[in-house]
A and B are shown apart, each in its own frame.
Chain A
Amino acid sequence: MSSFITVHDLHFAYPNYVTALRGVNLKIDKGEFVAIMGENGAGKTTLVKHFNGLLKPKSGYVKVDGLDTKDTTVAELSKRVGYVFQNPLYQLFSETVEKEIALGLSGMNLSESEKARRIDEVLIELGVEKFRNRHPLMLSEGERRRVAIASVLVMNPEVIVLDEPTLALDFLEKKRLSGVLTRLHKEGRAIILVTHDVEFAFDLSERIVTMSNGKILADGPKEKVINDKMLFSAAGLVEPQLFQLARNLQAMGVNVSDFSVEGLSTKFIEYSGKVERK
């Protein structure tokens, strides 16, 4: 069974710029939750822009749902791979949230009632129903980001790519976003998260791909990647404090495997002989 997205020996360089992809190989299946991580200039955004055809390979190929991206238009690929850009302001073209979401349907051959149904569904799913007639500029950053996701989701793509979705979001909005992404994933969509927010990536995704200098450094389930400290520094990532803590304790012989607040708290409560009162 071939993957939904196949990247084969992909090479790419922007004219006049150093950022390049030097032979990337990657396969992403339907329903996966993948985080692509690495520092600035590693090539993360460059890579994912190939998934909806915004960039075309210099050599090698990228196939999405059997289609070669070199021969397919961005519009056509966007029906399968929804792309949420880093800055929501770049992708908000309309006066009301409802019109913004409807924009994505203008290129699709659907009945009016089907369009309306989808818009309603998506507004509710992203929790932005009450902003239906509001101008996107009047919303907070987190709300705008959800509108941006909604406007891409309405096309019902099998894959959604989000480029640094947590930038400038506060704790509550991040939590909200987490909830949204988890739900979308449960519905069967593949989620590809480009981010340097390690905590967010590890909270949500199953598979972590790290990149550096245009190449993939590591690609595997998060349990495996989390235990590789070298990976963090090689990819230029900052290890969250909790991970550092857990790893240090591990090194001292304390038996910890779950690096989350819940996991560690349960473990330590056991140690102290108490019972956690929720």
Chain B
Amino acid sequence: MSGIFQALQWVKEDTPIHRLDPRSKMVWSICVLLMVILTWDPFILALVTLSLIPFVFLGKATSRLFQALKSMLFFVIILFALEVLYFGWYFGFIATMKFVLATSIFSIFFLTTHIDDFAAALNSLRIPFEFTFVLVTSAKYIPILFWEIQDITDAYKARGIELEKSVWKRIRSYATMLVPLIIVTTRRALTMAEAMEARAFGYQRKRTTYRQLHMHLPDYALMIVSVALTTGIILL
């Protein structure tokens, strides 16, 4: 389960991919994603897969990506089974490939982009600050939530309650464990809101953004190549 969170967490490294402006990476991601979604041609998908490899290696994201994919293996297998049932072997396989590729693209993006850079990118695209803020803060709280779930589960076990075998009883246990989680999260949200007021959030309409983004040659290059290739392949 934690593998999924690992897949989306920025890792502090200094690689050419990390140094790219998040906007160019966004353009690249969207282009590749578009290709993956639109095409059913295995040749193109293979090309896309190959094209991802340099990104993964240069971005030093190999092990994390594998960890993430490994943790999703169970889910992917079920998906594969369903796709095969629905589409037949050939298309089932292709559909699963598309899913895995799409996930990998997301993963590569988030592994190599610091969330504040991502926020700054959204900002420069004129997306309202409130929206970006909610997105970024939620992302920030994922690891904390994860630890809290752990603590709450520990506390539950420490009440002498064995985790039941029966699925139904298990679900009831999980529901019980949700209660403290919701309480703690709600309280935290209230305190955060107060804290934000105390930091003058809402002081005036026009807000400065401290973080600056700069596009360089590699960024333009990446964007041009991505858009060109995608358009070309789609048209063909």
Contacts and interface: CB of A to CB of B under 8 A. Distances in A.
Instruction: Check whether chain A touches chain B (CB < 8 angstroms).
Output: yes
Interface of A: 49, 52, 54, 73-76, 78-79, 82-83, 85, 87, 89-94, 103-104, 106-108, 137, 151-152, 155
A93 B180 CA distance: 6
B12 to A, nearest CB: 14
Contact of B162 (A73, A91, A104): A73
A85 B155 contact: yes
Nearest to A83: B158
Interface size class of B (residues with CB under 8 A): 10 to 19
A54 B180 contact: no
25 contacts: A52-B158, A54-B157, A54-B158, A73-B162, A74-B158, A75-B157, A78-B159, A85-B154, A85-B158, A89-B180, A90-B184, A91-B155, A92-B179, A92-B180, A93-B156, A93-B180, A94-B179, A103-B159, A103-B161, A104-B159, A104-B160, A106-B159, A107-B161, A107-B162, A152-B158
B180 A91 contact: yes
A91 B176 CA distance: 11
A75 B183 contact: no
Given A89-B180, A90-B152, 19 more contacts: A54-B158, A74-B154, A75-B162, A78-B157, A78-B160, A79-B160, A85-B151, A87-B151, A89-B184, A90-B155, A91-B152, A91-B159, A93-B156, A93-B180, A94-B179, A106-B160, A107-B159, A108-B160, A152-B159
A54 B177 CA distance: 17
A261 B184 CA distance: 39
A92 B79 CA distance: 38
- Pairs of residues from A and B, 9 with the lowest C-beta to C-beta distance, nearest first: A91-B155, A107-B160, A74-B157, A78-B160, A75-B162, A83-B158, A107-B161, A104-B159, A75-B160
A106 B161 CA distance: 7
B117 interface: no
B148 interface: yes
Interface string B161-184: 110000000000000110110011
B185 to A, nearest CB: 10
Nearest to A53: B157
A83 B160 CA distance: 11
A94 to B, nearest CB: 8
A104 B179 CA distance: 16
Contacts of B179: 92-94
Contacts of A152: 158-159
Which applies to chain B's interface (DSSP): helix, strand, loop or mixed?
Answer: helix
Nearest to B173: A93
A84 to B, nearest CB: 9
Contacts of B158: 52, 54, 74, 78, 82-83, 85, 91, 152
Contacts of B159: 78, 91, 103-104, 106-107, 151-152, 155
A52 B152 CA distance: 15
Nearest to A81: B158
Contacts of A54: 154, 157-158
A108 B161 CA distance: 8
A17 B160 CA distance: 28
A85 B187 CA distance: 18
Interface in B178-227: 179-180, 183-184, 187
Contacts of B151: 85, 87, 90
Contacts of B176: 93
A18 B169 CA distance: 37
Q: Which of A90, A137, A151 neighbours the largest number of chain B CB atoms within 10 Å of its CB?
A: A90
A75 B161 contact: yes
B226 to A, nearest CB: 34
Interface string B141-153: 0000000100110
A92 B187 CA distance: 14
Contacts of A94: 179
B184 to A, nearest CB: 5
Interface in B82-125: none
A85 B158 CA distance: 10
Contacts of B155: 83, 85, 90-91
A88 to B, nearest CB: 9
A202 B54 CA distance: 61
A82 B155 CA distance: 10
B172 to A, nearest CB: 11
A9 B109 CA distance: 44
Contacts of A78: 157-160
Q: Which of B157, B160, B162, B180 neighbours the largest number of chain A CB atoms within 10 Å of its CB?
A: B160
A107 B152 CA distance: 17
A49 B155 CA distance: 11
Contacts of A79: 160
